[in-house]
Structure 1
Amino acid sequence: MRLAYHTITWGGVVGHATGVTSVKDLFYRTNGSMAEAVRDIGAAGYEGTEMFDGNLLDFADEPGTLKGLLDEAGLELVSVYTGANFVYADVLPDELHRVRRAAELAATFGAGRLVVGGGATRSAGIPGEDYDRLGETLDRVTAIAEEHGLEASYHPHLSTIVESPEQLDRLMSRTRIGFCPDTAHLAAGGGDPAALIRRYPDRIRHVHLKDFRPEPFAFLPLGEGTLDLPDIVAAVRESGYDSWLVVELDEYAGHPAEAARTSKAYLDRLLATGR
């Protein structure tokens, strides 16, 4: 397995401000420096990175700049993350326009994977047909990714209609998209991440790792929370997946580079010894 780290830790996650009035422009982004993030990730010993579509958009008119940063740090751009509501028919064309742009950017910068989250929770609750809508739309997302030579996977996420194991089950039977287990989000949604990986071994296409503490609630560097990470990695191995493990930590109280180093040391030890 190869190790990568998401640039999200250098600034957290926000949506592009223009997206408030223009859905087609509602890209994800982190407001930290991508140059600093790439340098720190490479210095920590990772081989790859994942970025938000909005951060790639910043380099769309000067792709050589980002490619140079990645080359200098010895990193591959492994994957690109995007997301949308996916259940509102009238805005869906603009959301898929944005997904297509994310796929174009991913292909431009050499990534092989498109990771998506989403499935909005309505103010009145969750109508059952929204799972049909989400499943159908994720199939369209998969087709867009394939048109650009990318592999697509779905990332269950808190605040969406796919938080709990039961909700994940409802979705997975309705779509062909791959599964990107995020260890902390699955746990925070009431699931056992290792059990859910073992439930869908043939659907694993990407993996997000972060640790989790329920009280007080926090996402944490690997080894600093309550998750059984040895069992999680064992489940990933049992599935036959033997590719990128991406550490994706939303925020950190100290310097992001410190969190990257902490998780890298933990993963190196775990992959070498199994514990």
Structure 2
Amino acid sequence: MSGVRTGFVTQTHTGDVSWQEAMEEGSNLGFDFVELYMDGATERTKLDPEAVRSLAGTEGLDLLVHLPFVDVEIGSPRERIREASREEQKACIETAGEMAAEKAVLHASTHATPPEWTREDVEPHLLSAIRELDSFGEESGVEICVENLPGILFTVHDFDRIFAKTDAAMTFDTGHARVDGMNAEDMKSFLTDHGDRISHIHVNDARGPADEHVPTGSGTLDLETALSPVRNGWSGTVSVEVYSFDFDYLELSKRKLDDAL
């Protein structure tokens, strides 16, 4: 597992688990980092960057963040909405830098969809946003990692355009890739072919081609096959993404991930 660090995506946005509790439990479970979800109860204006940075240091954890996406429209065809959304993401990235986060997961997505808006209407705006935010992230000391999304721009099958038209890194989400038709062998091939552009991985397990986020190992994804390139010299970060407030399931997920790696 040389060169690979493991962590988890915090479920702090609902307020059921505080960011402090997430960090403390993450440290207790032996994770290398936490990926702090910057929305809802842990939206940027509700965070004290110095306090987050300090506790991460005390707990011996590295920090990543997941940028907000539900109500953010970086690819909107409407200029004012698009520009305001990009400025909000920049403010989040700036806050991430103040917290000493090293990576930020980005959904390059939009709710502007057919029949009102075509792919040709929105894709150039999304690619432009990726380039702009990637450049801003570099200035802030935060690596932007664009995540493949399930069934919408940008799916795993669209990333050839991101790789060709931007310099941004990728977050590879196993559950999202499965929704879009990939099996474990396909994931293995994708990670092998694009490992130089993939900086971060979300292990999102499911019982079928769905975006379920069940505890790692309780789904039907063949993790050992899918993640085999990670064991063969890849260097990056891997988060388990589990929709649960019970840290026992997170502990089990870490054991299953460690076994696969």
TM range (shorter): 0.7 to 0.9
Residue 107 of structure 1 and its aligned partner are, at CA, apart by 0.9
For the Cα contact (< 8 Å) 2:5–2:237, is it kept in 1?
yes
Q: Secondary structure at the match of 2:67?
A: strand
Matched, 1:230 2:224: yes
Distance (Å, rounded) in 1 between the aligned partners of 2:159 and 2:85: 22
**Correspondences of 1:160-199 after superposition (within 5 Å):** 160-163=152-155, 165-191=156-182, 192-199=186-193
Matched, 1:220 2:214: yes
Please report the TM-score for the alignment, with normalisation by the length of structure 2: 0.83
Matched, 1:152 2:140: no
Distance (Å, rounded) in 1 between the aligned partners of 2:211 and 2:137: 34
In structure 1, the residue matched to 2:106 is 116
Residue 59 of structure 1 and its aligned partner are, at CA, apart by 5.0
Q: Tell me, which stretches of 5 or more residues in structure 1 are unaligned?
A: 11-28
Residue 35 of structure 1 and its aligned partner are, at CA, apart by 2.0
**Correspondences of 1:50-89 after superposition (within 5 Å):** 50-54=35-39, 55=42, 57-60=44-47, 62-83=48-69, 84-88=72-76, 89=78
Matched, 1:96 2:71: no
Q: Which of the residues 10, 15, 27 maps onto 1:31?
A: 15
* Residue identity matched to 1:203: R
Residue 129 of structure 1 and its aligned partner are, at CA, apart by 4.3
Q: Secondary structure at the match of 1:153?
A: strand
Q: What is the number of residues matched between the two proteins?
A: 246
Distance (Å, rounded) in 2 between the aligned partners of 1:220 and 1:242: 25
Distance (Å, rounded) in 2 between the aligned partners of 1:45 and 1:37: 12
In structure 2, the residue matched to 1:264 is 254
Distance (Å, rounded) in 2 between the aligned partners of 1:209 and 1:116: 16
1:253-275 Cα shifts (integer Å, max 9, x gaps):
xx43012101111122223xxxx
1:85-119 Cα shifts (integer Å, max 9, x gaps):
32214212111111111111111111111210132
For the Cα contact (< 8 Å) 1:230–1:270, is it kept in 2?
yes
For the Cα contact (< 8 Å) 1:70–1:76, is it kept in 2?
yes
In structure 2, the residue matched to 1:16 is none
In structure 1, the residue matched to 2:27 is 42
Q: Tell me, which stretches of 5 or more residues in structure 2 are unaligned?
A: none
Residue 156 of structure 1 and its aligned partner are, at CA, apart by 1.2
Change (3 A) 1:226 1:141: same
* Residue identity matched to 1:256: D
Change (3 A) 1:68 1:174: closer
Residue 56 of structure 1 and its aligned partner are, at CA, apart by 5.6
For the Cα contact (< 8 Å) 1:134–1:171, is it kept in 2?
no
Residue 193 of structure 1 and its aligned partner are, at CA, apart by 2.5
